[in-house]
Chain A
Amino acid sequence: MPLKVKSIASFVSLEQIVDKLNELGFVLESSAIMVSEGKFWNRMLYIKGEEMVFVSDEIGDTYPKDPVVTIYGLDDTIEKITGVLY
């Protein structure tokens, strides 16, 4: 089954997103400091087999926080992750 992409900017907390990724068996592979739109972000890559999820979380005490989650995965994985994002 081909993998699909989905990208969502969400208002849920990073902890909720990470909990869901851990529950689904994703493992944090690497992270880096990214600068985009004049803001600093912590960009993290989670991997499970062929599936990948990029989570970008703005650094600092900004409000509201809207982590960007980009999923490259199976329909079922996309559905489960987007379930916590909306």
Chain B
Amino acid sequence: MSLLVIEQILNGLQLGVTLFLLAAGLTLIFGIMGIINLAHGSLYMIGAYAGALAASATGSFLLAVPAGLLAAAASGVAVEFIVIRRLYERDHLDQVLATYGLVLFFNETVSILFGRQPLFVAIPALLSGSIEIVPGLAFSVYRLAIIAVGLSLAAGLYVLIQHTRLGMLIRAGATHRETVRALGVNIRLLYTLVFGLGALLAGFAGVMAGPLLSVQVGMGEQILIMTFVVVVVGGVGSIRGALFGAILVGVFDTMMRAFMPHIMRGLLANGSEADALSAGLASMGVYLLMAVVLLVRPQGLFPARG
């Protein structure tokens, strides 16, 4: 039993890391630019599609990674340039609706170009198989690799934001936008960079998720709404909150999905109904977690300073 728990914690950590890559971008873009971007999930989808197509065309997952990153970042910069730039001075409502329009557009474009059939990506040969991390417990190398890469990206992001000149500008832009502008910093360029960085992280999450999920239209919104839960639980605008919130939500969600069927089968006589209901309750789990956090700390667990 305890081995199963360890395995599920690792699975949860892997989901959490993926959620972090999205939540970090979303919360940076909101914290610094004041933009709520529903199309963030679309950038994740674009990354996943570009990665899947590159992998199936070249047979190399190593080429899939830059393809996904490039596609997501290019789409992100284009979106910022054409639409988002006009939304900085608008209220949240306009931002929500315009980016909702973007989601409709991207989903339909992808389904026109690549159809509604999901794409599947093979796990790269180098990372396939599993290793025994504790005696008796074998765990997928690929999932371990995602956890490792995701955590190092989190560390890299920390260094970038806390210890570089660009990071200093980003932090200053979040709290004192007008002052930064008055000091002669090209804030437009800064915004485009931040948006591109967010798109890059989302695209990377998409490429990494490709071999684990089916790559299909609508995958972006599924994870976007969970990312919202992460941002609310962690605290809006806080990278630290995004990290801890993502890991908490990822582990909690995975645990609910893994252990809810056992619990419900004990309570209900009808097996198939118990399974369906436990799947539903497990999907509801993270939202209930969010409700509890809201009751205790409406600002989130790790609110941004300032």
Same complex origin of A and B: no
Chain B residues within 8 Å of A, Cβ to Cβ: none
Chain A residues within 8 Å of B, Cβ to Cβ: none
